[in-house]
Amino acid sequence: MSTVTPTPHTSRRALLTGSALAALSACAPSEPPSTSLSPTATPLRLRPSASTAPTPKPPVWPTRAQLVAKYGSRTPREWGLEPSGVLLRQTSRQVCLTFDACGGPYGSKVDTDLLKLLRKHRAKATLFLNRRWIEANQELATELAADPLFDLQNHGTRHLPLSVSGRKGYAEQGTHNVGEVYDEVMGNVATLTELTGSRPRFFRSGTAHYDEVAARIVRELGMVPTNFGINGDAGTTFTPSQIVESMAPTKPGDIVIGHMNQPRNDTAEGMARAIPALVTRGIGFAHLVDVV
Q: Is the pLDDT assigned to residue 117 strictly greater than 90?
A: yes
- Residue 6 placed within a domain: no
- Residue 30 placed within a domain: no
Structurally, the chain folds into a number of domains equal to 1
**Banded pLDDT at 60 (limits 50, 70, 90):** very high
- Residue 156 placed within a domain: yes
Range of the domain at 241: 62-291
- Residue 160 placed within a domain: yes
- Residue 54 placed within a domain: no
CATH number of the domain that residue 224 is part of: 3.20.20.370
Q: What is the pLDDT of residues 159-172, one digit of tens each?
A: 999 999 999 999 99
Q: What is the pLDDT of residues 189-219, one digit of tens each?
A: 999 999 999 999 999 999 999 999 999 999 9
SS (H, E, C) the chain: CCCCCCCCCHHHHHHHCCCCCCCCCCCCCCCCCCCCCCCCCCCCCCCCCCCCCCCCCCCCCCCHHHHHHHHCCCCCCCEECCCCCCECECCCCCEEEEEEECCHHHCCCCCHHHHHHHHHCCCCEEEEECHHHHHHCHHHHHHHHHCCCEEEEECCCCCCCECCCCCEECCEECCCCHHHHHHHHHCCHHHHHHHHCCCCCEECCHHHCEEHHHHHHHHHCCCEEECCCEECCCCCCCCHHHHHHHHCCCCCCEEEEEECCCCCCCHHHHHHHHHHHHHHCCCCECCHHHHC
- Residue 39 placed within a domain: no
Q: Looking at 39-48, 117-126, 227-236, 270-279, which range is the least confident one? A: 39-48
- Residue 287 placed within a domain: yes
Q: Check: pTM over 0.85? Answer yes or no.
A: no
**Banded pLDDT at 30 (limits 50, 70, 90):** very low
Percent above pLDDT 70 for the chain: 82
- Residue 13 placed within a domain: no
